[in-house]
Chain A
Amino acid sequence: MLRKLLPALFVLIFIAAACGDSDDDEASTATTAGEGTTATTAAAGAEEGDGDATTTAAGAAAGDECPNPATGEPIALGDVTSYSGVNIFPESANIAKLVFERYNCNGGVDGRPIELVSVDAQDTAEGAAAAARNLAEEQQVLAFCCSGSIVNCFTNAGYYAENDWEVIPGVEACADATNVHPANTGPFLPTYHMLDFFKYDLGAENICFIGLNVPLTEFFQTVVIPTWEADSGSTVNQVLIEVGEDFTPAVTKLAADGCDAVEAAFTEPDYQSFFQIVDAQGLTDQMDFGMLTSGYSLQLLEAAGDTLEGVYSNSEFEPYTGDPAAWSEAVTDYIELAEAGGEPLTSFGQGGYIAANVVITALESIDGELTKESVNEAFKNVEYETPFLGTPFRATGSAVGIQPNTTSKVLQVVDGDFMPITDWRVFPLPAEQKEAGGATTTSAG
């Protein structure tokens, strides 16, 4: 009898929950810092938010010295990030929240605090779609920003475009989306920059590319690489590997094909496996390897150890490693903020930092009332200069495609640290630079 009632009970519970949630006027915030990130000491399985508005773990630190707390009506901004599931990068939104908190403690926007409202995308397309709609339609946020996700842009670009949202994420993997203006550069340009680096700076003749068989790779193969090949006059040997496959055959093929330089497009864990095998096969000295910004991670460095020595990487933002004397104030500030808030140092966090600052600039530029229209208009037209980026951040109007950020730097792992070795690489590389063998200098921002 009870067993028959159970499904009915389930249904009733959900209906009750649904009604309860929709007129919940507290902005619910999903958990922020601390879920299992190695740099923090949060216990595994720490409580997720109970539906109350929770503040970040770093709230205490900033809150102690909150000189001018903003107490007006909160400016609600939406964040569609995956906080649970397999591929989660919460640092972007977490850092953004830290930036906002500090800003709120210094007066906010005319006394109004900025509130980043998160809904978990759960690392699925359906989840990202539901999260965006929830924030837009139920929680009535004014704009979206500061997320770090793979699924968000991909799934929601169309939705954002149709509903006139101008989104400024921290880090997204968009192929080409008119309404989404992430702080990161990728995926087009970093690959392009690395290929340039291999050809002009290292003088490689046989350049190879290896990537995973995921949907975005088609973009690499049909747009990025052919464009570079046309611009440079060289061909790129491409190897694709299936998700979950052993890397040994692919690595063997790269060796057999006589590659001088290999650009690898993976996520963090796959870089680890890849270089493990490269090292085991003794190829580290035989060829040069390059990673995208996803590989620029201290966690990866720690986990991969010696196998990463000598490998090049790309950073779409000002590097937070290398010689501290070379760091700009922005980087120093980012590092301090992250450490105070217990967040690991990753490029995702940097993206969130930049996005948050862009957003603040945009909001401050608005005369008059803050409505969805005025905020999104401001997001669309905002311009923000920072040593974090090679060129000023312009949501629209950059020379190449739609990405606001068109520059990156190349680094190399030297003695267990990522050392910047070039200045900002721009697109396209000026002819003089090509002839002079690129710009291989250790650089400041």
Chain B
Amino acid sequence: MLDLAVAGLSAGGTYALIGVCLVLLYRVGAVVNFSLTFGPTLAVVAMTDFLGVWELGLWASVALAIALGTAIAALQGWVMATLFRESTVLIRSTVSMAMAIAMFGLATRIFHDEPRFYPTLFKSLGRDVGGVVVTGTVIMAFGTAIVTALAIWLVLSYTRIGVILRAVSSRPVTAELMGVGTTVLIVLVWAVAGALTTSGLVLVAPTRSSIPNMVILIIPGLAAAIFGAMRSLLMTVIGGTVIGMIESVALEWGAIGNYRPTISFVAITLVLLWSQRKETWSEAR
């Protein structure tokens, strides 16, 4: 069972990273970004062309892919900041759904779902743990997730810009009137989330190898973010790891293991119900 638990880290790291980016966007951008994995997927698949067709070399292609993912996210952020500045969270989240649909169509139309070569990075970092190889990719994904969570936490809690970001998220117009460049900040946050997610997908692309398999990560990513109640970065990282592990260990559980997606659903539901147990009323007062 230990080996399966370790094996679960492979997915867990990715879920944690995506979850952290989702929480960042929720806390600062006031949006549940259903399209978080879609733009980066497009960028990562494009990377295979940078490598294979344009022949740019490994790290140049990776850098260009991350730049592309960042640019797409920044564009989304700009749309959100300008057109949807005064909207509710629900509206912005719906807009992100529409963006996801558009990007998925774009990705499949341009790139199709055929085998492409995704380079494996950090091969040498792999370590054997309990009979399972924890690949360099997994270590880097986890590392990125944890470092990102720490950095976000520090910035939001302890720096001046963190205070500004939090102000922008709850009262963008007020913040604007106080001289804060709301648009720039929101675009920045989206860009950061885009860069991080693209990096994460670059790492795991070889084990996911197709457009649908990469975009579908949004669902366990959301589950991880829900673990953290869209607020706690630590719980998000833990949540992503736990979900990855449960999915893996459940393979041992025979009949119940057949319903792994249901387990995830039940798990996040229970977590949410517990964290929201005191919220009898929808409004604060």
A residues adjacent to B (C-beta < 8 A) = 35-38, 44-45, 84-88, 239-240, 242-253, 255-256, 268-270, 272-273, 276-277, 280-282, 297, 299-300, 302-305
Contact = CB atoms under 8 A, between A and B. Distances in A.
Given A249-B8, A300-B115, A239 B110 contact: no
Contacts of A255: 3, 131
Contact of A88 (B112, B132, B247): B112
A246 B207 contact: yes
B247 A304 contact: no
A344 to B, nearest CB: 9
A256 B3 contact: yes
Interface in B205-219: 206-213, 216-217
A276 B120 contact: yes
Contacts of A248: 7-8, 10-11, 132, 207, 248
B84 interface: no
A268 B244 CA distance: 24
B275 interface: no
A439 to B, nearest CB: 30
A311 B252 CA distance: 26
A270 B210 contact: yes
Interface string B8-32: 1011001000000000000000000
Contacts of B216: 243-244
Contacts of B55: none
Interface of B: 3-4, 6-8, 10-11, 14, 108-118, 120, 126, 131-133, 135, 206-213, 216-217, 244, 247-249, 251-252, 258, 260-261
Contact of B247 (A35, A245, A277, A299): A245
Contact of B113 (A243, A269, A300): A269
Given A37-B114, A239-B251, A303-B117, A273 B4 contact: no
B207 A276 contact: yes
B53 to A, nearest CB: 9
Contact of B109 (A84, A256, A270): A84
Contact of B4 (A242, A256, A297, A300): A256
B4 A302 contact: no
Contacts of A268: 114-115
A43 to B, nearest CB: 11
Nearest to B116: A303
A418 B168 CA distance: 59
A270 B209 CA distance: 7
Contact of B108 (A86, A256, A269): A86
B117 A252 contact: no
A45 B109 contact: yes
A256 B7 CA distance: 12
A21 B6 CA distance: 58
Contacts of A247: 207
B142 to A, nearest CB: 14
Contacts of A282: 133
Nearest to B1: A256
6 contacts: A37-B114, A245-B247, A249-B249, A269-B115, A272-B118, A277-B207
Contacts of B252: 253
Given A246-B10, A276-B120, 8 more contacts: A45-B109, A45-B110, A242-B261, A248-B10, A248-B132, A249-B8, A256-B3, A281-B132
Nearest to B248: A249
Nearest to B204: A246
Interface centre among A45, A247, A249, A277 (most CB of B within 10 A): A249
Given A36-B110, A245-B247, A269 B210 contact: yes
A41 to B, nearest CB: 10
Contacts of A86: 108, 113, 211-212
Contacts of B211: 86
Contact of B209 (A38, A87, A276, A305): A276
Given A35-B112, A300-B115, A249 B4 contact: yes
A284 to B, nearest CB: 12
A285 B150 CA distance: 41
Nearest to B108: A86
A86 B251 CA distance: 28
A285 to B, nearest CB: 14
B247 to A, nearest CB: 7
B203 to A, nearest CB: 12
B115 A252 contact: no
B209 A272 contact: yes
Contacts of A240: 258
Nearest to B10: A248
A86 B247 CA distance: 26
Contact of A273 (B111, B207, B244): B207
